[in-house]
Structure 1
Amino acid sequence: MSNKDSDSDAGEGRCQSCMSSTKDKFNGFLSFLWNPQEKTVLGRGGKSWGRILIFYMFYYAFLAALFAISITIVLGTLDPDVPRFQTRLQVPGISVQPKLNTKAERTSDIIFKQSDVNSYQKYVDTLTDFLGPYSKANQVDFTNCPLNGSVKMNQDYSKDTPPPVCKFDIDNLGPCKQAPYGYDKGQPCVLVKVNRIINWFPVGYTDISKAVGNGDSNAPPLKDVLMARNRPYDPKRMYISCYDATSGNKTNLNTAAGVSANTVYYPEDNGMPFTYYPYYGLNMQPDYRSPLVAVQFMNVKRNVEVRVRCKAYALNIVDSKRMSSGYFTFTLQVNE
């Protein structure tokens, strides 16, 4: 026999051996899945499967019960009305409407052309939607609270005896209470509110000379703001001021550096009565309406980008850019 014949026979033998080995492995796998002789599935008989299923049933039931007990204990230590930790919410921030949802982010920048309705209609629609809950029809059962800053702190309110929800009279917003909110005249309105913090109560100044902003906000003194409006100071109100934050000659809003009567506030005392505070949380006051101050810019320099900053004045409000508290800055540009 030649070497070629010998090699061919050896190759055929190896091939047959390989096929036989694969067949044996496959049959072994099928026998592992179900062995009719021993009546086992995956190598286990009925009793073995029964014991392991009972074990895991009790094991996972124990874990579920342990989880449920742990959650119940934790929830039992929490107040449903007030978060346990409010370390980042000691000082309220300021928000300004209209605030638009864009593809990139929510923005309060206001840029429009006075002669083009389509350029400012989005701001008008946003303000209309925002003021919807403040309509008289949506405040029928609210309380007509006295606006003298009466304090209702530390009272024993509960769901059975909830705190009153004070009515906010939208008529106090003057021309900023209804569309088109001055945008058609190039005298746009914005609505300023202080963000809600549960159980936070503003503290008024006993000395108005201390009502100034710090270096972060660079706000004008409150006494100058009130003097420009010829309004007395009420220590039971939290005041709002909006001003030109652009460096250099700050005359783009007011035609004079600092503050001016060309920036008009509604209510006319530009203050938020302490009556509306504190806020007791969504569970206690689901219908709560934050007080508003409307600001109308009567003499904005045309075709110029103005950085407007609005600040809230209270003794316990600290201006902080890092914490986004005390003031809010946005861009205002009115084009011809």
Structure 2
Amino acid sequence: MNGADVKPEHLSSEIRVIPPSPYTEVRKPSINREILVPEKEATLAGSKTREKSAFSFLHDAHKKTLLGRSSLNWARLAAFYTVFYFCLGCFFVILLYGFAMILNRDVPRYYNQESTMAVRTTATVVGMGFRPQPDVTDSLIQVTDDPQEQKRIASSLRLFRDVYLIQKNDAKAEECTEKDPASDLIPGTACQFNWFHIVPTQQHPCSDNNMYGFKKEEPCVLVKINKVYGWQPPKGHIPTNIQQLRGVYNNRSVSKPDVYVTCEGSNPADRDILHDLTYYSAGSMPVSSKFGVIPNYYFPYRNAPDHVQPFVLVQFKNLPLFRLITVTCRVWAPGIIHDTRAMRGMVSFQLFRTHNVTRPQINNK
């Protein structure tokens, strides 16, 4: 046998674990400071660097900069933008001046059929308005027996009359007739027409002394056509309903038709109640119970400074108490289209008549 293969008897394959002595100090595993400490130091150093860079961006005393720019750089930047915006403003003013020199201040470049109003329809859009309207955001006209409330509502119509419906003595205006219509007037000249052509005296039901009908709880409502430059009633047939109201049926085309105004209840229930109306107009038919008339010779509107838009006064009588009535007024002429959704060729408002109800006094004896 080979001597190298002989193992001594004192060497054994078993491993014996000697228990630790109670007197021996056992060391706990320590944290590797070589790894953690540099990371903490790097984090602290990074935060300090960011704070320092932020403060240095706002103001760096060494480089003498403010917000990253030196005083010379800021001066160059301010000079650049000053010159840039100055040139931009001059360019804008030159464009405005050029457009002002090209455009006519009295005659619009596009109107009627050539304007955007005729995009979806072949007819010119004619709008309407009404007065009094104490609150411009509300279409309610309240009729009451309270004198203070009557004065408040009447003052709204009086103010509109004094501002828009009265021509001054030195107004540049001429009398318009069928032989001398507004279309033959000199540019800048208006037709002689104002409030007193319809309400000539103070005994008129719609006069100022009668508080425009509110004093007797029979209100007078002014119904007018909005100003549309160059529009006048075109040649055509008189509307069928106007022919029925006039009692004259004619299928011939009229070269110079008048403009008619009618008012009625918006709903069937309103039409059953609203039946006693009186129209006050200018021209050959000053009073009518069926319709109002605006003569054709007051058209077209030519943007004259002293122009007063023709109107019709509608007086409502025998209004029921505590009943809200919705009224719709329409303008009738050849070529006018009525659109309820867009309120074209019509106007709507509400009437509400009330009385101050006072409790009876009871005497306790």
Structures share a fold, TM > 0.5?
yes
- Percent of aligned positions that are identical: 23
**Residue 265 of structure 1 aligns with which residue?**
280
Which blocks of at least 5 consecutive residues in structure 1 are unaligned? 213-219, 228-232, 256-261
* Residues 289/2 of structure 1: CA separation in 2 closer, same or farther (3 Å cut): farther
- Residues 172 and 189 of structure 2 are in contact (CA less than 8 Å); yes or no, is this contact kept in structure 1? no
Deviation at 1:170, TM superposition (A): 1.9
- Residues 303 and 335 of structure 1 are in contact (CA less than 8 Å); yes or no, is this contact kept in structure 2? yes
Which blocks of at least 5 consecutive residues in structure 2 are unaligned? 1-25, 119-123, 249-253, 356-365
What do the CA deviations read for 1:35-59 (whole angstroms, capped 9, x no partner)? Answer: 5555555555566555555544454
Q: Find 1:319's aligned residue among 327, 333, 338.
A: 338
- Residues 266 and 293 of structure 1 are in contact (CA less than 8 Å); yes or no, is this contact kept in structure 2? yes
* Residues 298/226 of structure 1: CA separation in 2 closer, same or farther (3 Å cut): farther
* Residues 151/296 of structure 1: CA separation in 2 closer, same or farther (3 Å cut): same
- Residues 166 and 276 of structure 1 are in contact (CA less than 8 Å); yes or no, is this contact kept in structure 2? no
- Residues 203 and 315 of structure 1 are in contact (CA less than 8 Å); yes or no, is this contact kept in structure 2? yes
Q: Find 1:170's aligned residue among 196, 215, 231.
A: 196
Deviation at 1:288, TM superposition (A): 2.7
Separation of aligned partners in 2, 1:333 and 1:47? 74
Separation of aligned partners in 1, 2:183 and 2:163? 25
Deviation at 1:264, TM superposition (A): 3.8
Q: Find 1:145's aligned residue among 146, 152, 174.
A: 174
Separation of aligned partners in 2, 1:80 and 1:302? 50
* Residues 100/46 of structure 1: CA separation in 2 closer, same or farther (3 Å cut): closer
Deviation at 1:29, TM superposition (A): 4.0
* Residues 56/21 of structure 1: CA separation in 2 closer, same or farther (3 Å cut): same
Deviation at 1:201, TM superposition (A): 2.0
* Residues 295/41 of structure 1: CA separation in 2 closer, same or farther (3 Å cut): closer
Aligned: 1:243 with 2:271: no
Separation of aligned partners in 2, 1:135 and 1:249? 31
Tell me the TM-score normalized by structure 1. 0.69
Which structure is larger by alpha-carbon Rg, 1 or 2? 2
Q: Find 1:211's aligned residue among 228, 235, 239.
A: 239
Tell me the TM-score normalized by structure 2. 0.64
- Residues 145 and 167 of structure 1 are in contact (CA less than 8 Å); yes or no, is this contact kept in structure 2? no
Deviation at 1:194, TM superposition (A): 0.6
What do the CA deviations read for 1:100-142 (whole angstroms, capped 9, x no partner)? Answer: 317xx331x33434x4445544432222222122576x62222
Aligned: 1:184 with 2:215: yes
Query: Cα RMSD over matched residues?
Result: 4.1
* Residues 49/221 of structure 1: CA separation in 2 closer, same or farther (3 Å cut): closer
Deviation at 1:191, TM superposition (A): 0.8
What do the CA deviations read for 1:160-216 (whole angstroms, capped 9, x no partner)? Answer: xx22363414252232131422223232211111111112223466x5xx333xxxx
Aligned pair count reads: 303
More displaced stretch, 306-315 vs 59-68: 59-68
Separation of aligned partners in 2, 1:335 and 1:29? 73
Q: What SS class does the counterpart of residue 212 from structure 2 fall into?
A: coil
- Greater RCO (Cα-Cα under 8 Å, separation 6 or more): 1
Q: Within 5 Å, which residues of 2 pair with 1:1-336?
A: 21-35=46-60, 37-45=62-70, 48-49=73-74, 52-85=77-110, 86-88=115-117, 90-101=124-135, 105-107=137-139, 109-113=140-144, 115-118=145-148, 120-133=150-163, 139-143=168-172, 145-149=174-178, 150-153=180-183, 157=187, 162-164=188-190, 166-170=192-196, 172-173=198-199, 174-178=204-208, 179-203=210-234, 210-212=238-240, 220-222=241-243, 224-225=245-246, 237-247=258-268, 250-254=271-275, 262-267=277-282, 268=286, 270-281=292-303, 284-285=304-305, 287-335=306-354
* Residues 304/24 of structure 1: CA separation in 2 closer, same or farther (3 Å cut): closer
